[in-house]
Structures are given as structure tokens and as C-alpha cells.
Structure 1
Amino acid sequence: MPVGKPNAALFCFLLVFYCPACPFPHCSLSSLFLSSFFPFLSKIIKVRVIDDEEYEKNKTFYLEISGPRLVGSNDTKEEQLKEVEEDEEALAGKDEDDQRVADMGRPMLGDHVKLEVIIEESYEFKNTVDKLIKKTNLALLVGTNSWRDQFIEAITVSAGEDDDDDECGEEKLPSCFDYVMHFLTVFWKVLFAFVPPTDYWNGWACFVVSICMIGLLTAVIGDLASHFGCTVGLKDSVTAVVFVALGTSVPDTFASKVAATQDQYADASIGNVTGSNAVNVFLGIGVAWSIAAIYHNSRGEEFRVDPGQLAFSVTLFTIFAFIAVGTLMYRRRPDIGGELGGPRTAKVLTTMLFFSLWLLYILFSSLEAYCHIKGF
């Protein structure tokens, strides 16, 4: 390699790469650079790292300084190697004292001649790939190809999910609790087995039919709860906030639980709760009242809705909602870590607080409905 100065020191660097996916894990590459032989000068080495946009773990390579030697300005690589061999032969022919003096006159390496360089993986890209893999596995898990598979799955008693058993490779047998839950839910499993499989129309058929069936079941549950309240002598407002709300919110609760366990953040689970309530209030009540208002107006009648205990219930719900949101914001402290999860004590206290708010809401709404306390 030609050099710019005749009195320059040649340093040889050895780059040893390690790639887990490579069949030849140790590949060496020599790189030469020149530096003036003065202690106050330095040389910056630039190593080009190629980004192949593939998901890879940490990579490591080593930068090692080999023995320095003087070279001429127009020496080729073969001539340089030949000079090194001649110098070594000349030193070997001298006696021990002369060889020691000659070695002392050579450029000397420092104590640190080897450097390890670690290229860390991109954690943002890793999270993206993990989410895509999780969604792909979830789609393979819940996807169905035919109605036959759906009905077979509906009437089959399956064991609960357990990651430890999957790692051991042993199939888990259904427990007594699994049989009891299957007996209680087999009707709903068979009913929803009539929903088209997810492979039809890219899942749109399953989505539309599922939404229609959920709406139909919600209406049936509302009527059953109203008749149950009438049978036991409860007012409609109490029946609505206790039985109807509980029955229609159980699916949202399980959906939020699944979202919380499968997502790294709490956005999906909390957004499902707030979004479902927004749909119930704005879309559910708004569409129903709009249709009723249009119908009565077309017949020349005036449509009015008796507010009843609505003002008291909405005010009480708003107060408890502010308490709940404030609790979630407080849980963002470093000692807890976020809206969901965290230390066991924080989880238990938050659960007890939210459960107490629900019981207090039912209690105060029922007392106001039966005129034990004065509302608005």
C-alpha cells in the first residue's frame, strides 16, 4: 500500500466478526492505516456497518493492533512482507545483546491492543417484530376454516391455557372446573358456532355476523333483566345499573383482560373500557332516541323521555370516574410503573378501590331510587 510519508509507522488491525446466523462464525479482515510516528497525534478508524434491515441480535467484532513497522512510500504488499522476513532473519543472526538493543529501538505497542465493539439491536424494531409475530400467532390460534371445526371446538371440553405445560410438551387434561364451565357455556358456544369462519371474505363475514348477534343478545339480556326485576319487585333504574349493566359489561371486561395480557401497554385495555362506554352513551342512546324522535314527529306527536334518576346517576358516575382517572394517573409514579400491573400491593389496593367504587355506585343509586336519600 502506498504511503504519504516515507517515515511513517504502519499499523495492522484485525477485525474479527461474530454473526450467530453465519455458518462460518469467525471471519477475519485486515485493515491498514497510517499514522505519523508522534505521541501527540491520533488516528480515527472508521468501520462501515451495513444495515440489511433484518431482525438480528447483538453483533460483536474485535479491533486488534498488530506489530508496527516502518514502510517505504512505494512499497507493495509483497515487498513489505519480504522486508519483514529479512528483518526477522537479520535479528535472528545477531547475538542476544544486539537483538535486545534492536528490539528496544522498534515502535512498541501499548498495554491495550484489542478493542471489543458491540452493535446492539434496535429495541424499537424488536418490539415491532414481536408484535407482528404475536398477532400472526394469535390469528393462527383463533382462526377457523370451516363450520365443522367451529362446532367440534364448541362441544369439546378443552383445558385452560398454561404456558408451563406447553413448554414441557405434555398435553394438559381438563380439570373439574373446566367441565363445569363447559356445561355452563356450551349453549353460547354452540350458538356462536353459527358465525361464519374467519376465512370467509377475509374475516368480514365473521365480523358483521358477530356484531349482529352481540346486539341481538344484548337486547334479549335487557328484556330478561327487566322481567327479572319486575318479578322480584325492583325498579327499572336499579335493574339497569345492576343486572343489565353487569350482563352487558362482562364481555368488555374479558376483552380488556385479553388486551392487557397480550399488549405491552395499557392503551388497548383501558381504551376498550372508555370506548365501549362512549359507544353505549353516544351511539346507543343517540341512535335509539333519534329513531324514536323521527318516528313520533312523522306522526305529529311529541317525543319526550322521563329523566327519572338520570341526573343523580350521571353526577355520581362522573365523580367516581374522576377518582378512577386520578388513580390511574397516580399509578404512573416510578415506584408503581404504569396504569396496569406493578407491585402486588399496588395491584390489590387498586382492585379494591375500583370494586368499592362500583359497589358504592350501586348502593347510592338504589337508595336514591327508593327515596331513602334525596337526589336532584
Structure 2
Amino acid sequence: MFYGQEYEKYIDIEILDDKADEKDETFTIEITKIHDHTFTFGVKRKTIVTIVSDDNMLKNVTNVRKLLGHYMKKMTPGQQTWKEQILNAVSVNAGDIANATLGDCLTHALAFPWKFAFAFIPPPSLLNGYPCFIIALVAIGFITAVVGDLASIFGCMVGIPDAVTAITLVALGTSLPDTFASKIAAENDNSADNAIGNVTGSNSVNVFLGLGLPWVIAAIYWAAKGQTFNVPAGDLGYR
């Protein structure tokens, strides 16, 4: 009465974990005899069982998690301290001297005074970055004033008017950092969006903040004195 019907039997196999690193293990299960003669064997009597060891996998996952956390912490902006900033400023190629080129050494020598001075700006991790932002703005204003004075002195020495000096030497000195920033953005981005955004944002800040803020302050100052803030128009011609 059992002909034409199929029955299944599940066999439980206990796997003992000895906590040791092992490779995958394979064994064979074969049914050779049944005690109930009312049943007969099917076509398949043998199967191969493979125990996949997860010891190495768990160890690899743990190592990947540790490395990912380590490198993500290094990549997170605002994690440097004053000590790390000063060490990076005085080191060639951020301390990787073995891979430093001659260009890295020359660039470090030329930029060392500025790198060392700006290393004392508070790190971004301090007070949510507000001291870093404010002092960096003051330092940028100071550098801009120094560049403008040096360009004016140079123009006076060679006989170039201040207006011409402003649109050549001063503009070049204050715009070169934006040029390098746009270059880096273009190299590290799949499109030119960041490079164009950097150029547009930089010029917007120069026009509306760098020019507009001093103009507003001067206008308020002279208005408080009851006078009009007048700026005579100039030209770019030589006299």
C-alpha cells in the first residue's frame, strides 16, 4: 500500500565547535540498510555534506571593521590637535620623507613660514570649529593686507599705478589658492561641478563680502558723521 508514495526522513547531525581555526570539512552520508522492510530505497542513497568554517570569515570581518574605523577616523575632518598640526607643518610631505620628492622639499621650504604660523590656528575640533573659523578669517584678512602692501610697494618701486597693481599682482596673489583648489576639485571629482562651484563661490565672496562689507562699514561710518561716503572714480591709464 506504500507503492507510489514518497516519504522523507530528517537526520540531525551535531556539529561541535572546538573554537580552533579550521578549514572547511566534508563528509559523506550513505544509507545502507533500513529496518522497516515495507520501505525500499530510492535512487539516491548517498549525499555529501560540507561544513563551511566561519572562523576565518569572522576574523576577517573583525579586522575589516577595525581598519575601517581607524581610517574613517583619520579621514574625518577636524580630528587634529595643535600638536599634530605643528608636526605636519614642520614635516616634509606630512612626515612621509621616504616618498618625498625634490618638489615636495622645495615647496615645503618656501611655504614653511606660512605653514608654521598657521599651524597655531585652533583645530576644527575645538568648540565645534568656531574659533578656527573666526581666527582663520582674521588670518586671511591679514595675509590679504600684507599682499596688498607688498604689491603696492613693488608697484611704487617700478612705477606701476595702484589700480594696475591691484588687477595684476594682488589679483594673482589672492586668486592662486582658488586656482589650486579648483584643480584639486577637478581631479578628485567625476565632473567639473566642484571646480566651477569653487570658482563661482570664490568670486561671489570677493565681490559681495570682500568688497561689499568694507563698503557698508565705510558708508555707515561716514553717515554717522553726517557726511557722504564718496569714492572718486579712477582709470587704468598711466600718468
TM score, norm. by length of structure 1:
0.42
Rounded Cα–Cα distance in structure 1 between residues aligned with 2:72 and 2:167: 38
Rounded Cα–Cα distance in structure 2 between residues aligned with 1:138 and 1:270: 29
- Residue 278 of structure 1: CA displacement? 1.2
1:197 aligned partner, one-letter code: P
1:369 and 2:229 matched: no
Which position in structure 2 is the counterpart of 1:240? 166
Which residues of 2 match residues 70-81 of structure 1 at below 5 A? none
- Using the TM superposition, name which of 225-234 and 151-160 deviates more: 151-160
SS at 1:183's partner residue? helix
Rounded Cα–Cα distance in structure 2 between residues aligned with 1:224 and 1:244: 9
CA offset digits 1:47-72 (Å, max 9, x no partner)? xxxxxxxxxxxxxxxxxxxxxxxxxx
Q: Tell whether the 8 Å contact from 1:259 to 1:269 is kept in structure 2 after alignment.
A: yes
SS at 1:284's partner residue? helix
1:300 and 2:222 matched: no
Q: Tell whether the 8 Å contact from 1:159 to 1:172 is kept in structure 2 after alignment.
A: no
SS at 1:158's partner residue? helix
1:157 and 2:92 matched: yes
Change (3 A) 1:302 1:222: same
Q: Tell whether the 8 Å contact from 2:82 to 2:122 is kept in structure 1 after alignment.
A: yes
CA offset digits 1:28-58 (Å, max 9, x no partner)? xxxxxxxxxxxxxxxxxxxxxxxxxxxxxxx
1:290 and 2:216 matched: yes
More strand, by proportion:
1
Change (3 A) 1:159 1:285: closer
TM score, norm. by length of structure 2:
0.64
Change (3 A) 1:209 1:138: farther
- Residue 83 of structure 1: CA displacement? 11
SS at 2:175's partner residue? helix
- Residue 238 of structure 1: CA displacement? 0.8
SS at 2:114's partner residue? helix
Change (3 A) 1:194 1:157: same
Change (3 A) 1:145 1:231: same
CA offset digits 1:180-218 (Å, max 9, x no partner)? 211111000101101112321233332332222112211
Change (3 A) 1:192 1:156: same
Rounded Cα–Cα distance in structure 1 between residues aligned with 2:111 and 2:95: 14
Q: Tell whether the 8 Å contact from 2:85 to 2:119 is kept in structure 1 after alignment.
A: yes
Q: Tell whether the 8 Å contact from 2:88 to 2:95 is kept in structure 1 after alignment.
A: no
| Aligned residues: CA RMSD | 3.1
Change (3 A) 1:159 1:140: closer
2:81 aligned partner, one-letter code: S
- Residue 142 of structure 1: CA displacement? 5.8
1:246 aligned partner, one-letter code: L
Q: How many residues align?
A: 177
Q: Percent identity?
A: 48
Unaligned runs of 5+ in 2: 1-23, 25-38, 44-67
SS at 1:228's partner residue? helix
